[in-house]
Amino acid sequence: MRPSRRNAVQLLLGTVTVLLASVLVFLYIKSSTDQTAHYTQSRDLIRQMQQLNAQWDSEVLKARIALTQNYDPLVAPLTEITRLWAELQGHASYHDPQDLPRWQAGLEAGEVALEEKARLVDQFKSHNAVLRNSLAFLPTAEDDIQAQFNRLGDEGRMQLQSVATDTYDLLLSSLEFAQVASDDRAAEILLGLNLLAVNKEQMPAEFHVPVDILSNHIALIVREQPVVNSLLERIATVPVAERLDDLTTHLNQDQQASDLIEQKYHHYLLVFSTLLVAMLLYLAIRLLRSFAEVNRVNRALHAINTNLEQRVEERTRQLKDAQSELLDSARQAGMAEIATNVLHNVGNVLNSVNISADLVARKLRTSKALGLGKAMQLINEHPDDLGTYLREDEKGKLLPGYLNQLVEAIAVEQQGLTDELAQLSKSVDHIKDIVSTQQSYAGVSSVLEPLHISALMEDALRMNSGALSRHHVTVVKEYAEVPEIMADKHRLLLIMVNLISNAKYAMSNLSNRPRQITLSIKTVEGNLLQISVKDDGEGIPAENMARIFTHGFTTRKEGHGFGLHSCALAAIEMNGRLTAHSDGPGQGALFTLQIPFNEAAGQA
């Protein structure tokens, strides 16, 4: 529910951002399409074409007055204009679509004008070339005729003087005609040509060819000069420049219109940007505020955290103190328990010591040795006549027999005392054993030493023996053959004593069946020593199973919850583990210790 709502918010935010950005981009594009450059380029192209057009015109005029004989310059401008024209047509994309037909029409009109001018210029080239050629040749042609005249004798020359003059006039008229081509002059020249044709007949044959050539060329001039003139006029009237101007005007108008639109969008952009900036400012302020808030909360949290840490430290320290106190008390309690055991065991043995001592005392009190004193008294009463007394006196005669009996009795008695004293000293040894055993376990040793596990188990039993016999507990021993191993005697014994003690306690409320502890020792998986203590006692409820080894857990009123915990710790310290199993309340319990072992033989 919450993540989906967060997603929705994020989606909304993203959409709004994209929307704002696209509006901005849209306005920016609309307001700065930089069409100015396009218009400038197009106008530049048109301007170039106008220049070329003017250049073209001037080349036409140069050709007209025969300044140049090379007609390439009359071709080049058209080629260049055609190229620029194609480029201009490629530029059309930015025009207002509504205005496009007008622009196209303008372009078409321009093309028509250009084609017309090109056609006329081509014609001009053709006609002008031959016209210029003939005009240039005219003086030479006339010279040829004059040369023929000069070749004639004076008589002939006089005869043809008028013809020569007419020819010369015709030449001059033609040259004038080339400057000012009027119909009158044309008529005049035609008249002259006719006259020349008439005169030719009068002239000698050698004149005919040069006169014909001259006539032909003059006729060509008369024919071509008006054509060239009219072509020049027509070229001048072809409105190429005007069409180009029209296009420029159109571009200007178009640009003004697009500038207006651009300005409009520029305004929009400005307003929109202002709005955006305002929004950004607002958001920035909000951000700053929330940042401050976050900082404040952060500091507070930090303070609380520090405080908490201090408290945790303090509490930890307290807990540690409590634990060490508990440990101390547990140790004391353990020692007290052990001491109780020891004292109880010692007490048991002392009982037999007491009995033995009583027995010896009673035997000494009723000793037959007292009879020896009486016999000696009888002997002492008869120091002089001892022989007589022994032989004569009735009492004296009985005395040796009595002494013999006494000796036997004393021997028996002595035997009994010796036996009893041996028993006594054994008991004392036992006490010494118990005490020394206790003393040997009291120290905290973690050294490994060779051990017989079964002997160790016996020691543990012996330490508990008083309590066990007091509670009438039967011990079943299932000891497998286990080699002598290297192990931590103190820890093992601690665990065993505790487990046996626990088993005993577990069965203290048992009255309907015999109390029985089963101790077993065996090896599993080759290198694991498994020691288990099983009882038929109250069992462990499932809910307690999990925390049975935790520190402070106990089910006993006087318990301190330390025993099993320390056992488990000890097991872990020996790289082993202590596990408990119970089928439930009233079903008894099985505690199993597993530790890895090394054979003592291997160590030696």
Contacts with other proteins by CB under 8 A lie at: 68-72, 74-75, 79, 82, 119, 122-123, 125-126, 129-130, 132-134, 136-137, 209, 213, 216-217, 220
Question: For other proteins, which is the closer residue by CB, 69 or 263?
Answer: 69
Query: Please, which residue, 70 or 162, has the CB nearer to other proteins?
Result: 70
Task: Count helices and strands (H / E) in the chain.
Answer: 17, 8
How near is the Cβ of 129 to other proteins at its closest, in Å?
4
Helices marked H in 203-239: 208-237
**Cβ closest to other proteins, residue 69 vs residue 425:** 69
User: Among residues 133, 214, 204, 201, which one has the least CA distance to residue 172?
Assistant: 214
Pairing between β-strand 528-535 and β-strand 515-524 as defined by DSSP bridges: antiparallel
Do 488 and 447 contact (CB within 8 A), yes or no?
yes
600, 601, 602, 604 alpha-carbon torsion, rounded to 10°: 90
Cα–Cα distance for residue pair 479/198, rounded to 1 Å: 171
DSSP string over 332-373: HHHHHHHHHHHHHHHHHHHHHHHHHHHHHHHHHHT-THHHHH
Smallest distance, Å, CB 247 to other proteins? 22
Least Cβ distance, residue 126 to other proteins (angstroms): 5
In terms of phi and psi (left: phi > 0; alpha: psi -120 to 50; beta: otherwise), the region of 552 is left
Question: Is residue 221 within 8 Å of residue 213, measured between CB atoms?
Answer: no
| Residue 160: CB minimum distance to other proteins, A | 22
Which residue bears the tokens 């024919």? 223
Output DSSP code: residue 574: T
Q: Are 123 and 231 in contact (CB under 8 A)?
A: yes
Alpha helices in 32-99 (DSSP H): 35-64, 72-90
Sheet containing 515-524: order of strands: 473-479, 515-524, 528-535, 589-596, 577-581
Output the DSSP codes for 91-128.
TGGGS-GGGHHHHHHHHHHHHHHHHHHHHHHHHHHHHH
Nearer to other proteins, 95 or 217 (CB): 217
Report the residue number, 126 or 229, with the smaller CB distance to other proteins.
126
Strand pairing of 485-488 and 528-535?
A: unpaired
Give 235 or 349: the residue with its C-beta nearer to other proteins.
Answer: 235
Q: Which is nearer to other proteins, 74 or 232 (CB)?
A: 74
Residue 8 CB, shortest distance to other proteins, in Å, is 47
Of 46 and 118, nearer to other proteins (C-beta) is 118
471: left (phi over 0), alpha (psi -120 to 50) or beta: alpha
- Go through the chain and tell me how many residues it has: 604
Indicate the residue among 217 and 430 with the shorter CB distance to other proteins: 217
Nearest CB to other proteins, comparing residues 74 and 473: 74
Nearer to other proteins, 133 or 518 (CB): 133
Q: How far is the CB of 66 from other proteins (least distance, A)?
A: 10
Question: Closer to other proteins at the Cβ: 38 or 217?
Answer: 217
Shortest Å distance, C-beta 78 to other proteins: 8
Of 24 and 75, the one with the shorter C-beta distance to other proteins is: 75
453-470 vs 489-506: helix axis angle to the nearest 10?
30
Question: Are 495 and 571 a contacting pair, CB within 8 Å?
Answer: yes
| Contact predicate 266/31, CB 8 Å | yes
Question: Among positive and negative, which fits the CA dihedral 230, 234, 237, 241?
Answer: negative
Q: What's the min distance (Å) between Cβ of 167 and other proteins?
A: 17
CB of 141 to other proteins, least distance (A): 9
Residue 73 CB, shortest distance to other proteins, in Å, is 9
Smallest Cα–Cα separation from 77: which of 116, 109, 121, 42? 121
Closest CB 108 distance from other proteins, rounded Å? 18
- Rounded to a whole number of angstroms, the minimum distance from the CB of residue 252 to other proteins is 31
Q: How far is the CB of 225 from other proteins (least distance, A)?
A: 14
